Structure 1
Amino acid sequence: MNDHSKPRDAGMPPRTGHWKLIGPGIVAAATGVGAGDLVATLIAGSRFGYALLWAAVIGCIVKIALAEGAARYHLATGTTMLDGWRSLGRWTSWYFGIYILIWGFVYGATAMSATALPLAALFPFLPLWGWAIISGLVCAGFVWANKYEVFESTMKVLIGLMFLIVVGVALLVVPDVGAALTGLIPTVPPGATIYTLGLIGGVGGTITMAAYGYWVNAKGWRSPAWMGVMRLDNRVSYAVTGIFVIAMLVIGAEMLYSAQIALSSGDRGLLDLDEVLRDRFGPIVSKLFLIGFCATALSSILGVWHGVSLLFADFWRNHVKGEVADTREGLDRTPAFRFFIFWLTIPPMVLLAFGRPFALVVLYGALGAFFMPFLALTLIWLLNSSRVPKEWRSGWLSNGLLGIAAALFVVLCLNEIWGLLS
């Protein structure tokens, strides 16, 4: 009997049972959808009802194209995204190296704080900063000690909790099916342009999209023979994400839109929703929602601690040490991988006590706004070049979706820069 949970080598995939192999896409999707993304979707529903439902669907299609492109480069070339970026010039080393260190420092504090919010609400005997430190240390220890198989299984449990609880709450509020179907017709209400672009580009879109190819490799998929399995994995995972995001928009539209209830921006908006759920459905539903909130935050922190540490380890291997692609084996056991886990966990604890310095926030926001355009544009460049065997280069559909993604992220980037300057 085949054990589908164990990584395989770069040979042929099994003839049947592909559904049982699904995993890396679940990890990428669960990592990309954080508490802040859920609040953004809730706010879109609370302000515009079902009018932007179509944008959530388009957003998932765009993410499928981006994640598929990153993993296709890994499988088709036998190398990694960092190998591809290095081939574009040394400027990628400077950009990515500076970006990942600043992003990791600020995100570490953000992720630990987000995880602490539901824990402090469920167990108020410790202050917020106490739960933040505990969550960071526990997640760091888990990623440090466990191999990919255990990590993936844990992420599946967390996204299962997220999915069941959020979709359950959406069904509980009794969605207006007719209005939801109308929301699939593309329209942009007055004042909703940036919300629309943000909903398409923001939910599930982070640096961890570049990590998908590394998780595909960690699963044991290392040759073009696994391309079909990867595409199934990617599409199913983002379909689940799409249902999850639609459920959050339904909750916003049904519970907040008609009552004109405003939420706080950022992760704390989910605590506002918790109070609304408690008033309408009682403490049991409220507690279950907090558990789902906690699962969402934990999946993001674990996914970033693992995936972005893999990216940094490959950056160190490739751009600093100049080693060849074959040494990507065992990246999660390298000193660079473990250093970045430390970097995400310990130094950011300073920000938990003193807040985020303004200059660091501005620099983080500026660099962060540039990453998704960087990913989309470099994928178009790499996947249409001789670096990729001809049969695996992008066709008109992939190029079209990646082009839409690139244009979308450039607009969002310019809007972010304008907001920072103003």
Structure 2
Amino acid sequence: MAIVQNTEKSSPVVPSTLKEKAKLVGPGFVTAATGVGTGDLIAALVAGAAFGTTLGWAILLGSLFKFYFTEGMGRWQLATGKTILEGWHSLGKWATGYFGVYTIIWGFSYGAAAMSTSAIMMVTMFPILPLWAWAVVHGLAGLALVLLGHYKLFEKVMTFMVGLMFITVVGSAIILLPDIGNIVSGFVPRTGGSSMLLVLGLLGGVGGTITMASYGYWIRERDWAGKSWIPMMRLDSAVGYIVTAIFTLSLLVIGAEFLFGTGIEIDGEEGLVTLSNLYSAEFGSIARWLFLIGAWSAAFSSLLGVWNGVPYLFADFVRMMRKNGAVSDRRVSKEDPAYRFYLLWLTFPPMLLLFFGRPVLLVILYGALGALFMPFLAISLMLLLNSNRVEKGFKNGWVTNVILTACVVVFVVLGAIELAGLF
């Protein structure tokens, strides 16, 4: 008699206690690691060097904004069974059309930036290869990990990177022996003479943009499905953004304690290398290595998260176009040709930009579409989660609506400033 094996995958049990939930935290760490890149490092260091810990409140508020974005997308998916792409498509073809154009331009430009920023840190630590070669190595390493590894391996790698970032950067802040009173005073909202652009940049820069929309696919990889998983999803995403806030505040402290009043400026990724050298002069080579490892972890984990997560969005977009927006029970996966196409698009065409630079038109399109994304996301979440597409008990409350409205105002202003700078 032939023995038939049951290969059906069993669904995980919804945790009921805080201890059980804590053991399942994971996609939130992935989102945190993906969202915090060298741009966030630089923005926080610049703010600390110029204005001390005055703008700590902006980092906390920015983390709160991004939590509500992520929680809204997760709640939409778990309450309706539809991805955020399906939600956007229900608002009209213009929404998915905008997203499709944006992902192609964004991926081409971001791929080059992610590889080069990871390479800058690596070539500083190990100058055995030129910058372009280290950039190519990082791009290929991300490609290999995504193609050859499964989601659990990817999540473990990302969680390790978060731990590495946390230990090195927070440790770098602690060795400066900061004044706790100054840190706490920074939680009182005020500009302290800083420019509104810097404040808006901190609000908008904590935790990524399009990458947040990948969160729904990562919780699907964990088989979190249905309304009963919403409390777990909220805790998971909250932990991710708490880690993000602590990490970014540590960078603000480093800038405030080490650079404030010195006149030394942090300018781009090369400024991080300069700061590491100053660390070495003050605290020795171990401190320098700690900071460089933390900066590299932030850059490379962001690359890995994008290489894994954003192709899901593109594959879902292609599926939506083929099915004309119809909902399907079939989940997009790494086996989808569209997923693999976008993964290759992130990796190989951007390598050309490592040698030739970004064309002016690409810069303008990238900046223009990017400036519109965050207001688009906030408005779309209000439209979706206040509509009859969601059951009454899972719609937005007034607090969520107020925060999302504030997000729209902040990001419209920030987007207008960014657009003005392109022309």
Name the TM-score, length of structure 1 as normaliser: 0.95
SS in structure 1 of the partner of residue 349 of structure 2: coil
Change (3 A) 1:81 1:277: same
Measured in 2, the distance between the counterparts of 1:282 and 1:356 equals 38
CA contact under 8 A between 1:210 and 1:375: conserved in structure 2? Answer: no
Report what 1:355 is aligned to: 357
Q: How many Å apart are 1:10 and its aligned residue? A: 7.0
**Matched residues in 2 for 1:113 and 1:328: separation?**
36
Offset at residue 325 of structure 1 (A): 3.3
Identity of aligned residues (%): 48
Q: Deviations over 1:248-278 (max 9, x none)?
A: 000000001132211113x322112111111
Aligned 8 A contact 2:86 2:325 in 1: no
Deviates more, 1:181-190 or 1:394-403: 181-190
- Give yes or no for the alignment of 1:252 onto 2:255: yes
1:321 positional shift: 3.9
Task: Give SS of 1:331's match.
Answer: coil
Equivalent residue letter for 1:263: I
Q: Take 2:323 and 2:353, find their aligned partners in 1: how far apart are those partners?
A: 31
Q: One-letter code of the match for 2:143?
A: A
Residue in 2 that maps onto 1:97: 100
Per-residue deviation at 1:331? 2.1
Cα drift, residue 287 of structure 1: 1.4
CA distance in 1, matches of 2:235, 2:400: 16
Of the candidates 379, 384, 387, which is equivalent to residue 386 of structure 2?
A: 384
Partner of 1:295: 297
Preserved contact between residue 105 and residue 348 of structure 1 (Cα < 8 Å): yes
Q: How far apart are the structure 2 equivalents of 1:269 and 1:322?
A: 48
Query: How many Å separate the matches in 1 of 2:283 and 2:10?
Result: 47
* Equivalent AA in structure 2 for residue 228 of structure 1: P
TM-score (norm 2): 0.95
Cα-to-partner distance string for 1:74-115 (whole Å, 9 max, x where unaligned) = 100001001001101111122111100000000000000011
Residues 34 and 297, structure 1, Cα contact 8 Å, conserved in 2:
yes
Distance 2:259 2:389 in 1: 50
Aligned mate of 1:171, from 155, 171, 174? 174
CA offset at residue 301 of structure 1?
A: 0.3
SS at match of 1:116: helix
Q: Is the 8 A contact 2:50 2:261 kept in 1?
A: no
Q: 1:263 aligns with which of 238, 244, 266?
A: 266
Question: 1:8 Cα deviation (Å)?
Answer: 6.3
Aligned 8 A contact 2:27 2:218 in 1: yes
* Distance in 2 between residues matched to 1:323 and 1:357, nearest whole Å: 34
Structure 2 alignment gaps of length 5 or more: 1-8
Alignment of 1:358-369 (within 5 A): 358-369=360-371
Deviation at 1:14, TM superposition (A): 5.2
Aligned to 1:9: 11
Cα-to-partner distance string for 1:149-200 (whole Å, 9 max, x where unaligned): 1111110000100000000000001111121121111111224211111111
What is the correspondence of 1:308-387 to structure 2 with a 5 Å cutoff? 308-322=310-324, 324-387=326-389
**Corresponding letter in the other structure for 1:302:** L
**For residues 174-233 of structure 1, what are the alpha-carbon distances to aligned partners after superposition, in whole Å with 9 as ceiling and x for unaligned?**
111121121111111224211111111112131111111121111110111101100111
Select 1:211's aligned residue among 192, 210, 214: 214
Q: Secondary structure of the equivalent of 1:75?
A: helix
1:22 aligns with 2:25: yes
CA separation in 1, counterparts of 2:213 and 2:177?
Answer: 37
Residue 3 of structure 2: aligned partner: none
Conservation of the 8 A alpha-carbon contact between 2:102 and 2:370:
yes
Q: Unmatched 5+ residue regions in structure 1?
A: 1-6
Q: Tell me if the contact between 1:264 and 1:272 (Cα under 8 Å) persists in the aligned partners.
A: no
Which secondary structure does the structure 2 equivalent of 1:200 belong to?
Answer: helix
Partner Cα separation in structure 1 for residue 51 and residue 330 of structure 2: 46
1:185 maps to which residue? 188
| Greater alpha carbon shift after TM alignment, 149-158 vs 275-284 | 275-284
CA contact (8 A) 1:72 1:213 kept: no
Alignment partner, residue 3 of structure 1:
none
Gap change, CA 1:276 and 1:328, over 3 Å in 2: farther
Distance 2:316 2:256 in 1: 43
Tell me which residue corresponds to 1:306: 308
Which amino acid in structure 2 is aligned with residue 66 of structure 1? F
Q: Is the 8 A contact 2:121 2:296 kept in 1?
A: yes
Distance 1:299 1:12 in 2: 29
1:135 corresponding residue in structure 2: 138
How far did residue 13 of structure 1 move? 3.7
Give secondary structure in 2 for the equivalent of 1:325: coil
What is the one-letter code of the residue matched to 1:414?
Answer: A
Q: Which residue of 2 aligns with 1:69?
A: 72
Deviates more, 1:339-348 or 1:272-281: 272-281
Q: For residue 107 of structure 1, what is the amino acid of its counterpart?
A: Y
Residue 173 of structure 1 aligns to a residue whose secondary structure is coil
**1:139 Cα offset (Å):** 0.6
